[in-house]
Structure 1
């Protein structure tokens, strides 16, 4: 069972009927791009799940740009792909796991343990000699009733983050780029800045120059410097909309630092309420 990352070679060695592969490619500025890219060429047998339609819920204007999907609806989608309790899910993209990590976290949120991200994504697959297919996927497994189990991915809501400002019990780690954290060059949300007291750890720092996750020991050292002696259970991750924060969660899990939590609404939810405080600058 693969619980965090899987290499291209390891994926190639898995029997096709033991794994459900999911293409998670997406572009925030062009929501239709991912499915177009999938149709042009994807890992053989892979299915496509859309960030907006499958991996997010309905927006209200107050719950962020990518609110959590309805759990039962997502369970039906996964069951339709043949995901049973023992099925290995492998998610991939072409952006260093930026979007695939969202499915990894959501599957764990529903209590599914056998889920991993293809380390290096499509580029790693092709470098390892893997082909791409333009054929629509045919399920290697029969549809299954996906059973929601005890969650493996705890969350904190906006009220909890707000209460934490006055009585700190955890540290918030923001996965956005440093300029957006400071409140500069904000193009995605109407307000720039960050949650007061948050730490900044851009998700891209989890990757090496080839777009693979750094080795567990390296990640552990990097993250221990961020944690400053705090246990992983005292960390709550956020980003712009709850997507790239999952990349930081995945990196910590892969480094052996389990138990951190996600604030799913993230900055886009936080800044939708003008009563919530906003900080700018690097601290």
Structure 2
């Protein structure tokens, strides 16, 4: 599994479905990667979907089908917000059954790509001849028939599971990770949680992940170590998606995603600790 792929990887791989999750006006007016289809973040964001925050499976299938994406396609998503919205797209795909080996986030974002990479505002990239044009060059694609896999294993954990894990968190056997900002954590967090703002994992210059050695040192200083179960949450499951993919990029295997996050936890009367 390679959750994050650099621009050089994308340039070397043909037939990849590139997905731009920015707003439509950004895609049209500012430009996009050649061949990218637009699937805005709000189109797959659901307040009342599967597991609390995922879009209903049927809506997700319709959305990807309209974008010309098949269940066996390799996908690279990007945004212009250091990858956090693209990560949500990728994790949504994973949680609804897309092959983990075929779902990636561009390491960096549109601003990073734009420094050296080619962009376009064309509906179809006219710079390639029709003879050389592939399906990925067409951003008004022929609809596909996307079918998700409801039986795929996912890292999701629910309210009851997190509640049952609290003694293990207190004992130091499980690390509960809050991926929000410092001030949010101080106002209220789950008992025993450690705080890692997802932006701490991002390099300001490259707009992608920090070097591996820096990431490992940062995480291990917070008690997030390989081989020890980690369960992640934020407010509404957006920021946690980026941290989840970053941990998988580093080879962490036992990582749970609390999809309901703090919003559900509070709604269901879970204990909140403030500092």
On whether the aligned pair clears a TM of 0.5, the verdict is yes
1:262 corresponds in structure 2 to 257
Consecutive unaligned residues of structure 1, counting only runs of 5 or more, are 26-33, 184-192
Q: Per-residue deviation at 1:244?
A: 0.5
2:201 corresponds in structure 1 to 206
Structure 2 residue 21 is matched with structure 1 residue 24: yes
State the Cα deviation string for residues 199-229 of structure 1 (Å, max 9, x = none): 1010001111211212334323322332355
1:223 corresponds in structure 2 to 219
1:11 corresponds in structure 2 to 10
Q: Is the 8 A contact 2:226 2:252 kept in 1?
A: no
TM-score (norm 1): 0.80
1:35 corresponds in structure 2 to 24
Q: 1:38-77 alignment to 2 at 5 Å? A: 38-40=27-29, 41-58=31-48, 67-77=53-63
CA distance in 2, matches of 1:142, 1:163: 44
2:77 corresponds in structure 1 to 91
1:227 alignment partner, SS class? coil
Task: Return 34-43 or 195-204, whichever deviates more.
Answer: 34-43
Q: Per-residue deviation at 1:230?
A: 6.2
CA distance in 2, matches of 1:57, 1:240: 12
Cα–Cα, structure 1 residues 98 and 229, in superposed 2: closer, same or farther, change >3 Å?
closer
CA distance in 2, matches of 1:5, 1:242: 19
2:134 corresponds in structure 1 to none
User: Cα RMSD between the aligned structures?
Assistant: 2.5
TM-score (norm 2): 0.82
Task: Return 142-151 or 4-13, whichever deviates more.
Answer: 142-151
2:185 corresponds in structure 1 to 181
Q: Per-residue deviation at 1:68?
A: 1.4
Q: Is the 8 A contact 2:3 2:105 kept in 1?
A: yes
Count of matched residue pairs:
254
Consecutive unaligned residues of structure 2, counting only runs of 5 or more, are 125-138
Structure 2 residue 109 is matched with structure 1 residue 121: yes
Cα–Cα, structure 1 residues 261 and 199, in superposed 2: closer, same or farther, change >3 Å?
same
Cα–Cα, structure 1 residues 43 and 78, in superposed 2: closer, same or farther, change >3 Å?
same
Q: Per-residue deviation at 1:138?
A: 1.5
Q: Is the 8 A contact 1:111 1:152 kept in 2?
A: no
Cα–Cα, structure 1 residues 155 and 209, in superposed 2: closer, same or farther, change >3 Å?
same
1:195 corresponds in structure 2 to 190
Q: Per-residue deviation at 1:19?
A: 1.4
1:189 corresponds in structure 2 to none
The structure with the largest helix share of the pair is: 2
Cα–Cα, structure 1 residues 58 and 51, in superposed 2: closer, same or farther, change >3 Å?
farther
